[in-house]
Structure 1
Amino acid sequence: MEQENNKSYRSILKATGVFGMMQVSKMAISIVSSKFVAIYLGPIGLGLVALLNNVINIILAITNFEFLKTATREVALKSVVEDNSQLNNIITTIQKMAVTIGVFGAIFSIIFSKYLSYFTFGTFDKQHWFIILSIYFILTSFSNARLSLLQGLNKIKILALSNIIVAFITAIGSILLYYFFRLDGIIWVVLYSGVVLFCVNIYFTREYSFKFYPFVFKEFYKESLSVFKLGFLMSLNLIFGQICYFLLRLYLSNHGASNEILGFYEVSTVIMVNYLGLIFYAMAYDFYPKLSAISLDDLKVKSLVNYQIEIAIILVTPAIILLYIIGPFLIKILYSKEFLDSFLILKIALFSVILKAIIFPLGYIILAKGNKKMYFKQALVGDMLNLGFSVVLYHYFELIGIGVAFVVNYIVYGLYIYNMNKNHYNFDFTKECFKLIKINVLLGVLAILIIYNFQEIIMYILLLILFLFSFVFSFIELNKRIDIKEFIENKFKKNK
């Protein structure tokens, strides 16, 4: 039993490392390409890119039925069945769904192209952009079908490699297209990125059948109905989430000094999501498919979720305390000293990432189980709490209130999610996991108390001591679970 636990911990840590490196590589490529794009397009061009990406995401939310997530779940469920014919059948069904969803997105973009152009850019001159985008939506749908195979079958190294290759090729092509076509290159960059994603995913899934069988509507309806139902509710959640996020941004923009407050909010969100989000990418790419594969067994689900939470908080807590020390310097390096007020949000909001490491795995349980109504309710509650707490607490406490809103939101939402899983699936924390949660939450609270109660020099000394304690504690706890020395030695042996 202990050996099996050790294997599970190592698998989680390995996936976190692989996808962490993937995200770091993608971020590095993105930073370099963004510099070139900013030079070639200027502020106006970057604004057009942001507007176009925003409307693309809205169209995908309406027409895509969260296809990647639902398809990944289906593949993962069939991957553990001994009968390979079931896996082959679901691959066939997913490809048929890709055609249906892709064509739906394309037709939507073409029919409403005139209105989308006016709504997005205030002119009808860009109507042809949305007609061209119809090809992009078809390519994206096919790409998601193939990507769901890699995720559902847990091909983590191939997934990471394909993501890096896509990011690199897309960046090179984008720089060239923007260089030669400037603003007119925006739509061609979007189409080019879709082609690259499609080609790379086809290449890495070439061993799986890509045949198109005769389309029998009754058969297709029966096979895909449950997937479409779950996808439809997830799409509604996504649309509602984007509306809530838009309303929050609109509120912050209208009640701040021009767009200054919104800028501070965006910077703090980027730091928490992009620079601390490495572990959460691993959950999406690796943990979710694994959880889906065992979703029918509540005991296995409980074990895997507890393992994931343990590894997540062991890794994330030292990183949070370190950011309390280097946060202001990081903001200056990545942005400028004009954005230092973002740290007023981060002073408290960083603590919420520890809570997120606990709550995120719990949120995946209902999705992996395929409980459509519960997942819809769960996501709806999360979006409403985020909007409500952010608006109210900003109104009374301004930037600090936004940071408090992150924490309060995760506490209330976390209790809600925990009770849902406990009541419906008998989930509970193991003693070992709960002990880790208490200690790491206490470390996060201590960091906040130090930030607000000590002057600069003393504050940094105490935070450094707290970081060293947290790092040593996490190292000891991680070593208990995977034997770090043996883990590293095995890695070197495999690489020789």
Structure 2
Amino acid sequence: MTRDNDNNIYRLITRAAALFGGAQVASILCSVIRTKLIAVWLGSTGVGIIGLYNTAIETITALTGLGIRSSSVREISEAEASGNRHKLAHVATVVKRWSWFVGLLGAVVMISLAPLLSRWTFGDDEHIWGFVWLSCTLLFNALLSGEQAILQGTRQLRKLAKCSVYGAVAALVTSVPLYYFGGIEGIVPALIVYTAVTCLVTLLYRNKEIPAANLTLRQTAHSGKEMVVLGIFMTVSSFITTLFAYIFSAYLNYKSGESAVGYYQAGFTLMNKYVGLIFAAMAMEYYPRLAGVCHDTPLMSRYVGQQNEMMQLMLLPIMALFIVLHPFMVRILYTAEFYAINDYLLLAIQGIPYKAISWSIGFVLLAKGDGKLYFITELLSDSITFTLNIVGYEYFGLQGVGASYTIGFILYLIIIYVACRRKYGIEPGRKSWKATATTIVATTAIYVAYILLPLLAWILTGIIVALSCVMLYRKWKNPAAEAQ
């Protein structure tokens, strides 16, 4: 690959991160506004009912969705990269039909379980029809996911970002009046409208250039087999991760009570939801690009290395600011009571550089469609992290859990690197490892300075943020200059 192509990749990564980072911030803002209005108009009861309904919807979606939203991106990306329009039409048609299937399956399951869901969730039979009506949201979500996968796989990234932002805004505007005028009775209609409008916006922006392929049901089922198998592995892995998290929360509750669970959830949310925004944003562009070259190991290695370099460059200023500003962030997002998580945050943030490079390497398994190895590595990682969490909390409290977060990602990096290196010959390259080491050294220095000399930590943070912004700007506007 030439230097010009390398520079184009750096610029592509930077712009994709800005595009989807902005889209995610807009979507989160809409969600915050919606939640705030619901809390004001319906109170804690309304918020609780919505949460229970959404939990049921998400659970059934996870069980019946077969992971198609994520696994299908690989198939579409590979077809798009081949340049064979007939193959692309074939795969897109398969994805759309399977989306209809899992959507209808989810709806039927929810309708069938409506009486049980009402009793298990609310302890009565008064919400049976609520679950029956909400079954249509599973179909809307499935169709939405299929179209999003096609947009992502064909690299229609700007359209995908527009779907996210416009869908969130339109859904907010159309659903909020139902809460205001309908009160508690308006919850079910509002949830349906919210999902339907989001789906409609995505359908308006769907890739209309891909024609429908003429396939029989048997051909559709056979062609989707590999996609579904990978999706099932991903779904089971996600379920196990959630299960371990639940067991650890139950352990915390047994050991120290609900307040300990609250502290842990608050800290974990800060690390994964807010700091993790950049990971989710960059995955939208990185995954289909990597899947498109899944048969070219040297090029995959180059892409992995470049992705990690940019990840480290973007995360370094965020981590530096996080270290010096975390007390203010905790105070703004929670209350002074949650200062108890400060030590957890300071230790956990040190694991982000290891998470970035292991994340970059880990996508190789999804791009290759190696669901079995993906499942094994994720299971090992979850088991190790869970064990470290228990040991860390037993001996050091929340501070130990923060340390286990970092140690867990160090061990996961070793696991995923060895697995991808031995099976596929993937090597991120010297520049990538150097970028990772630079981030680790810089953030460790700021951490030590923050503990011993806070003023020095602020000075170092200012220098790092300024240099990182200059380098990112050069990557954005004139990447060739950065390579010289």
Query: Could you state the TM-score of these two structures normalised by the residue count of structure 2?
Result: 0.94
**Quick check: 1:61–1:238 contact (8 Å CA) kept in 2?**
no
Equivalent position SS for 1:80: helix
Match of 2:342 in 1: 343
Per the TM alignment, residue 488 of structure 1 is displaced from its structure 2 partner at its CA by 13
* Cα shift readout 1:363-422 (whole Å, capped 9, x = no counterpart): 111011001210111222232223222222112211111211211111111110111011
* Cα shift readout 1:189-210 (whole Å, capped 9, x = no counterpart): 3212220121011100162457
Q: d(CA) in 2 for partners of 1:301 and 1:36?
A: 46
Match of 1:492 in 2: none
**Quick check: 1:62–1:239 contact (8 Å CA) kept in 2?**
no
Q: d(CA) in 1 for partners of 2:22 and 2:475?
A: 21
Match of 1:494 in 2: none
Match of 2:309 in 1: 310
* Cα shift readout 1:426-448 (whole Å, capped 9, x = no counterpart): 11231111111111111122233
- Paired letter, 2:168: A
* Cα shift readout 1:308-366 (whole Å, capped 9, x = no counterpart): 10000111011111111111112212222122222221011112222222211111110
Match of 2:60 in 1: 59
Matched, 1:228 2:242: no
Match of 1:422 in 2: 421
Match of 1:31 in 2: 32
- Paired letter, 1:23: Q
Alignment of 1:194-343 (within 5 A): 194-205=195-206, 207-208=208-209, 216-257=216-257, 259-343=258-342
Q: Which sits farther off after the overlay, 427-436 or 194-203?
A: 427-436
Q: d(CA) in 2 for partners of 1:360 and 1:106?
A: 34
* Cα shift readout 1:241-266 (whole Å, capped 9, x = no counterpart): 22222222222233234x22222222
Q: d(CA) in 1 for partners of 2:201 and 2:262?
A: 35
Per the TM alignment, residue 16 of structure 1 is displaced from its structure 2 partner at its CA by 0.6
Match of 2:351 in 1: 352
Q: d(CA) in 2 for partners of 1:152 and 1:387?
A: 34
Match of 1:450 in 2: 449
Per the TM alignment, residue 119 of structure 1 is displaced from its structure 2 partner at its CA by 1.9
Per the TM alignment, residue 284 of structure 1 is displaced from its structure 2 partner at its CA by 2.2
Matched, 1:155 2:149: no
Match of 1:493 in 2: none
Matched, 1:463 2:457: yes
**Quick check: 1:19–1:278 contact (8 Å CA) kept in 2?**
no
Tell me: CA distance 1:381–1:52, structure 2 relative to 1, closer, same or farther (3 Å): farther
Per the TM alignment, residue 180 of structure 1 is displaced from its structure 2 partner at its CA by 1.7
* Cα shift readout 1:168-191 (whole Å, capped 9, x = no counterpart): 122223321211222222322321
Q: d(CA) in 2 for partners of 1:263 and 1:210?
A: 50
Q: d(CA) in 2 for partners of 1:206 and 1:155?
A: 8
Tell me: CA distance 1:309–1:96, structure 2 relative to 1, closer, same or farther (3 Å): same
Q: d(CA) in 2 for partners of 1:47 and 1:360?
A: 34
**Quick check: 2:4–2:480 contact (8 Å CA) kept in 1?**
no
Alignment of 1:426-445 (within 5 A): 426-445=425-444
Query: Could you state the TM-score of these two structures normalised by the residue count of structure 1?
Result: 0.92
* Cα shift readout 1:32-78 (whole Å, capped 9, x = no counterpart): 22211111221222222222222222211110011111111111110
Q: d(CA) in 2 for partners of 1:380 and 1:210?
A: 40
Match of 1:486 in 2: 478
Per the TM alignment, residue 218 of structure 1 is displaced from its structure 2 partner at its CA by 2.6
Gaps of 5+ in 2: none
Q: d(CA) in 2 for partners of 1:210 and 1:102?
A: 22
- Paired letter, 1:428: E
Equivalent position SS for 1:236: helix
Q: d(CA) in 1 for partners of 2:165 and 2:470?
A: 32
Matched, 1:392 2:391: yes
**Quick check: 2:111–2:132 contact (8 Å CA) kept in 1?**
yes
Match of 2:179 in 1: 178
Identity of counterpart residues, as a percentage? 25
- Paired letter, 1:238: S
Matched, 1:49 2:50: yes
Once superposed, what is the RMSD of the aligned Cα atoms?
2.1
Q: d(CA) in 2 for partners of 1:11 and 1:278?
A: 18
Equivalent position SS for 1:207: coil
**Quick check: 1:79–1:293 contact (8 Å CA) kept in 2?**
yes
Tell me: CA distance 1:120–1:369, structure 2 relative to 1, closer, same or farther (3 Å): same
Q: Which sits farther off after the overlay, 57-66 or 185-194?
A: 185-194
Q: d(CA) in 1 for partners of 2:305 and 2:207?
A: 35
- Paired letter, 1:65: L
- Paired letter, 2:77: A
Equivalent position SS for 2:82: coil
**Quick check: 2:293–2:299 contact (8 Å CA) kept in 1?**
yes
Tell me: CA distance 1:297–1:132, structure 2 relative to 1, closer, same or farther (3 Å): same
Q: d(CA) in 2 for partners of 1:474 and 1:434?
A: 18
Q: d(CA) in 2 for partners of 1:317 and 1:354?
A: 8
Q: d(CA) in 2 for partners of 1:190 and 1:386?
A: 36
- Paired letter, 1:344: D
Q: d(CA) in 1 for partners of 2:218 and 2:42?
A: 50
Gaps of 5+ in 1: 490-496
Q: d(CA) in 1 for partners of 2:51 and 2:447?
A: 35
- Paired letter, 1:68: R
